[in-house]
Amino acid sequence: MSKMQSILEKLAINPVQAVEDYKKKTGKGAVGCIAPYTPEEIIHAAGMLPIGLWGGQVELNKVRAVLPAFACSIMQSIKELELSGSYDILTAVLCPSSCDTLKAIGQKWTRKDVPMIQFVHPHNRKLPAARTFLAKEYQHVRERLENVIGEPIPDEAIVQSIQVYNEHRAVMREFARAAGAHPDLIDPKTRHLVFKSAFFMRKEEHTALVRELTALLDEAPVKPWDGPKIILSGIMAEPDSILDVMKELHIAVVADDLAQESRQNRVDVPEDGTVMERLAEQWQNMYGCSLAYEHEKTRVPMLVDMVKKNQADAVVVAMMKFCDPEEFDYPMIKQTMEKENIPLLQVEIDQQMQSVEQFRTRMQSFVEMLRHE
């Protein structure tokens, strides 16, 4: 087996196994982090395993009674998994209130043995008061967690965890760059799995594996790629079957602006201030995301820059079905891409998607169109 293959195998995703193994090894539990942004550093500092909850391909039954059909597809699956007890192996769950659907999810939590800790990201992010407010919210999260585990989470431990996370972010940004240069070695699904595996591992372990992987990529010769190069933008690009279609169509994902992938690593936690203030300031510094309100909408010019910098042929917006924050951004993206002459395709993301044929038709037509450009 090649070295790269063996690293990728170590990154393979098995959430239940990961939680059980971690409990066995450390005697500590796992805390679920509902997408998209949670202060994972606090969980990490408590010696627990933060697990990213991003839904999955489950059949929707129980959720029909609690969420309307027009709630986004990721929250439909998260709620279904919750109601069917899949999250009962977790010690607690953190949930941000970034959008209306997330607010509802936190309020409708039913598992009595798995406490739900909800917090609010302020929308007027740039005000000094936003930092004070969010620092208090995070402090509240910390205290609730301390209650659950029955131990304090010291400042020094959080400072260390911040360092671990900043290092991880930097390594992931490097991986994204290297993967973009080597689509012959890292196909769209593999690229996605490298990002996703970070949600089921302690970050220091993930950092070590991805650093090794990136080094191998950097050693490999850069080969010319004759397929279309795209930038993926949106909340997430799942189920995996759509990435398989991209591979079949010889598409390279040269960079991404997905909440589940590169947005996680876009902004580091700054150095100055108390630990809670530092974590809060990271949210103030976030940019280019539909969930982090900004008057000037930097996401749009950011996407144009990404196209130029990565010599991409097009932008593909993976539009989470019924996600209003993303839908609000789309018209601006579309207008600008037209003005800039950058081909743009919108595809709908539905985690419950059974057949990829419609997706294939769209994607293939787009690729055929690009070939004529």
Partner 1 sequence: MEQALAQAGIHLEDAAGIVATGYGRMNSAYTDKQFSEISCHAKGIAHLLPNARTIIDIGGQDAKAIRLDDRGMVQQFAMNDKCAAGTGRFLEVMARVMETSLSELQEWDNKARTVAHVSSTCTVFAESEVISLLSAGTPKADIIAGVHKSVASKAGSLVLRIGLQEDVVMSGGVAQNRGVVKAMEAELKVPVQVAPNPQIVGALGAALFAYEAQMKKQK
Q: Please identify which residue in 13, 16, 222, 369 interacts with partner 1, judged by CB under 8 A.
A: 369
Q: Please identify which residue in 11, 49, 67, 72 interacts with ligand SF4, judged by CB under 6 A.
A: 72
Q: Taking the CB of residue 368, how many other CB atoms lie within 10 A of it?
A: 11
User: Binding string, 296-335, against partner 1, x = CB under 8 A?
Assistant: ----------------------------------------
C-alpha distances out from residue 292 to 35, 181, 193, 263, 303, Å: 13, 29, 25, 11, 16
Binding residues among 279-318 for ligand SF4 as defined by CB under 6 A: 291
DSSP per residue over 49-71, as a string? EEEEE---S---SGGGGTS-TTS
Q: Are 346 and 265 in contact (CB under 8 A)?
A: no
Q: Please identify which residue in 23, 144, 247, 362 interacts with partner 1, judged by CB under 8 A.
A: 362
- Residue range at the interface with partner 1 (CB under 8 A); choices 140-148, 228-236, 280-288, 354-362: 354-362
Of 245, 253, 281, 247, nearest in space to 353 by CA: 245
Write down the least CB distance from residue 354 to partner 1, Å: 10
Q: Please identify which residue in 42, 81, 95, 99 interacts with ligand SF4, judged by CB under 6 A.
A: 99
Task: Extract the tokens encoding 317.
Answer: 């917006």
What's the gap between Cα 269 and its chain centre?
17
Task: Extract the tokens encoding 92.
Answer: 């607690």
Taking the least distance from each CB to ligand SF4, the nearer of 171 and 291 is 291
Of 265, 262, 300, nearest in space to 282 by CA: 265
Of 313, 307, 265, 256, nearest in space to 286 by CA: 265
Q: Please identify which residue in 179, 348, 349, 351 interacts with partner 1, judged by CB under 8 A.
A: 348
* From ligand SF4, partner 1, none, interface partner of 362 (C-beta below 5 to 8 A by class): partner 1
Residue 194 makes contact with ligand SF4 by CB under 6 A: no
Q: Please identify which residue in 7, 11, 48, 75 interacts with ligand SF4, judged by CB under 6 A.
A: 75
Write down the least CB distance from residue 355 to partner 1, Å: 9
Taking the least distance from each CB to partner 1, the nearer of 168 and 321 is 321
Taking the least distance from each CB to partner 1, the nearer of 110 and 361 is 361
Of 93, 109, 104, 100, nearest in space to 141 by CA: 93
Which parts of this chain interact with partner 1 (CB under 8 A)? 348, 357-358, 360-362, 364-365, 368-369, 372
